[in-house]
Structure 1
Amino acid sequence: MSLRHVIVQLPDRPGSLGQVTTLLGRLGVDIWQMRVLSRDGTVATDEFTVSVPGVVIDRSLPGLLEEIQGVRVLEMWSVDTAAEIAGAIV
């Protein structure tokens, strides 16, 4: 298992976040935390901290998320410790 922060831009409309979280669940990705960074009525930017179940899913996760219409992965980086996750909570 690998811990990752993922920043995703998606359409700011009902169902968009559900599509992202449903895909994560189907891939076996465990969502540790999620927060909305911004939204303007057209586009939302959300940050997820996730536990990814394997190297294949880890490498393919950005591309799989971007198969959802209107979704862009802006950043994805490794999280080393639970303390780093706790420090990220605002």
Structure 2
Amino acid sequence: MIQPATGAVEAAIHARLTDALVPSRLVVVNESHHHAGHMGDDGTGETHFAVEVESDAFAGLNRVARQRLVNRALADLLESRIHALRIKTLVPGEAA
């Protein structure tokens, strides 16, 4: 299941993670509304996200290595557009 994106940054997250990790499941949640007026809120409503990615690309990797793959795919967005990113990674069939 890959949910549709709603905003420009969310769409970019979807596209990059899909290209880099070919996920069998990808969920991107915009959590920016929880952080309105806080540090990192630039007023766009697209600064704080949570992702859940299920991909064969994570097989045999520990949690840190998996998160590095996600961070690498989103590197320029993390430098310029995303203030916070919560990451959950799984291989197909792995218990959440």
Say which structure is richer in helix.
2
Greater C-alpha radius of gyration: 2
Say which structure is richer in strand.
1
